[in-house]
Each structure stands twice: as structure tokens, then as C-alpha cells.
Amino acid sequence: MGLNPCIRDWHDRRVWVIGASSGIGAALARVLLAQGARVALSARSTPSLAKIAATPGANTLVLPLDVTDAASVAPALQQVVAAWGGIDLVLWCAGSHSPVRAWELDAADARRLVDVNLNGVINGLPAVVGQLLLQKSGGIAIVSSVAGYGGLPTALVYGATKAALINLAETLYLDLAPRGIAVYLINPGFVKTPLTDKNTFKMPALISAEEAAREIIAGFSRGNFEIHFPRRFTLWLKLLRLLPYRWYFALVHKGTGM
């Protein structure tokens, strides 16, 4: 039995996808529209959102948004609420990735990554949590990553932001589940997107964004708190994290060749 309500019928469900212009967010938006959801689309790239909104028969709102601009989130949310009378699920998919090793670290680049991946979610939480508590219903889904399970080469800043999101989602669940608000944590493995195209190493169990979207929808249908995939990869990473650090570091070095 899941820790959240099981979502199996998306017809007319009001969903806001933040980070819908490409990758997992875009694939999720298309799947949700195909299943009859009303989908508000947000990202910085308006032309990309417009292409998704042009899907025949789609019920969409296009709300350009920069997650690093905290003041822009509440007005966008109010547009959704005004149009549809409320919100059923907010999906935070916006994120960035820049592979970096310790000797390549640039503080300004690191801050930009933290602003998008972590602060971008925090910027939106006050407005979203306030609306859901007012409704006494709905849910929040945060896309993190298995890179947040433990330290990995090239994920010096990216992994830290994802670890923070995992902790954030866990704490949100503790606070909000007793008040009837669902919280979902989404931890993908390697998914082929413009972000992972930056990686120069072999990515094990690499899947498409469309397959990732199907896995996430299946996780919602089971009411899972954590939706992680592909399990042939993520379960090994969970096991690895349980090992003593001496073994963990040795196996990561051996497995990655770094």
C-alpha cells in the first residue's frame, strides 16, 4: 500500500508541470494530456511550451516562468487557480546539470546550479503549500535524482542539490501528509535528455524521457512516496549506500573508472 493517494484517473485533473519545455517534464506533460489531464505548462522557453500546448484537444495553460525568480511563482499559481478553481498536483521538474570535478569547481557556476535545482523549488513552496492547505487537498511531486543517494564523480554540486531535495521531500511529507497533502519524491536514474547529453561517460541503464514519464505515472498509480527507476539500476545504488564507506568509495571508483 502506498504512502500517498493512488492516482489512476487523470481525466480533468489539474496539474502544473514546472520545467515542461524539455526532457522528463515535457514527456510527462504529453502523457498527462493524452490521459485527459488539464496541464499548466511552465518553463523559461515559451516556444517549447507552445509546441506542447498545440497538441490537438489539449486543455492547457502556458505560463512562462523562471524558477529562480521567487516573486514570479505566486502570480503564476493564481492564474492556474483562477482558470481552474484550484490545483491537484504540482510537478517540479525544472533542473540543470553541469558535470564538474573538485579541481574544476567555480563558485559562481555552483551557485547558479543551486539556484535552479534547489532554490527553484524553495521559491515556489510557500505559495504552493499555502494553496494546497487552503484546499485541504492536492499534492506536490519533486524530481530529484539517484545522484542524491551518495557522492558520485562529476556530480560535485548537482548531487548535493539532489540530496537536499530528497531531504526536503521527506520533511515535507512529515509535515503535510497528516494534513491531507500528498508528497511524491521522484528519483530517476540516467534518462536521455539535453542535460545528460553533457555526460562523457557511459551511463548504465539509460532510458528515454518517455519511458521515465511512464514510470512516474505508474508510481503515482501505486501511491508511492518515492518513485525510483529503472529499478535494475536504482536498487543497486540503494544497496551500495548501505555499505561502509571503505567499500562504498572503492566500488564507486571501480564502477565509474574515476
Single-letter amino acid, residue 201: F
In a domain, 3, yes or no: no
In a domain, 8, yes or no: no
Angle at 211 between CA 205 and CA 212, to 5 degrees: 80
Number of domains in the chain: 1
Kindly report the CATH number assigned to the domain that includes residue 18.
Answer: 3.40.50.720
Angstrom distances, CA of residue 123 to CA of 61, 114, 176, 230: 21, 12, 18, 30
In a domain, 1, yes or no: no
Angle at 171 between CA 222 and CA 5, to 5 degrees: 20
Name the DSSP letter for residue 155.
Answer: B
pLDDT of residue 98: 87
In a domain, 143, yes or no: yes
Find the catalytic residue in 158, 173, 245, 248.
Answer: 158
pLDDT of residue 197: 66
In a domain, 40, yes or no: yes
pTM for the whole structure? 0.94
Which runs of consecutive H residues, i.e. helices, occur in 85-157?
107-114, 120-135
Q: Is the pLDDT of residue 202 over 90?
A: no
Domain that holds residue 145: 14-256
Active site residue 158: yes
- pLDDT for 2-26, tens place per residue? 899 999 999 999 999 999 999 999 9
